[in-house]
Amino acid sequence: MLTTPDTHTTDTTHTTPALAVRLFDNQKYGTTYGKGVYRRALYNGTVDIMHPQAKYLIDLFSYQDWMNQARTDQQMAAIDSVQEDKDALFSWIQRYDPKSKSKTLVSGVCVFSLANMSLQMVIQDDASDLCNHWQLDVRHCRQAATNQSSPQLLATNTDLEVFK
């Protein structure tokens, strides 16, 4: 599904950073934000990493919708490392700065396989000094109180208490 070039492989001399991926149903799916321009992401998500502390945003699309968003040479090269799969959703990855509320595109790809409920992610973020690859199982979440926004799906490699 996702082939990782040597430049994106995990450095085995260091431990894999703890992360939590939370996926939310896109409540605005199918609505327009311009004339003839539709929101096509099925899920919106956040990726929280402990060390180095960083937050990323993902929007999961079908392969065709994701591929058509590629704008940079780096993204075009990333498309070559990903196999098309009709049972998977794909996302580019953006670093999120909560202070300035700015989003910055980083090198990386997220692939969520609906068939086997697994998530693969590669992030290479020079600003956060992070270059890693994860493969995680995705699980359904219990819904919180009706007045709270809670994720529908969760993937993590550690106990969530670490992130509180």
Instruction: Give the pLDDT confidence of 113-126 residue by residue, as tens digits.
Output: 999 999 999 999 99
Residue at 33 is within a domain: yes
pLDDT at 101 over 60: yes
Residue at 43 is within a domain: yes
Residue at 150 is within a domain: yes
The average pLDDT across 76-104 equals 95
What are the structure tokens assigned to 82, written together?
């990903």
What are the structure tokens assigned to 33, written together?
């934000």
- DSSP state letter for 42: S
Q: Which of 92, 115, 100, 93 is nearest to 1 (CA)?
A: 115
pLDDT of residue 3: 60
The average pLDDT across 125-132 equals 92
Residue at 14 is within a domain: yes
User: Which range marks the domain in which residue 146 is found?
Assistant: 6-163
Report pLDDT digits (tens) over 31-82: 988 888 888 999 999 999 998 899 999 999 999 999 999 999 999 999 999 9
Confidence of residue 159 (pLDDT cuts 50, 70, 90): confident
The more confident residue out of 143 and 20 is 20
- DSSP state letter for 87: T
Q: What's the total number of domains in the chain?
A: 1
Residue at 1 is within a domain: no
Residue at 90 is within a domain: yes
pLDDT of residue 14: 53
pTM, entire model: 0.87
pLDDT at 136 over 70: yes
Residue at 75 is within a domain: yes
Identify residue 160 by its one-letter amino acid code.
L
pLDDT of residue 2: 62
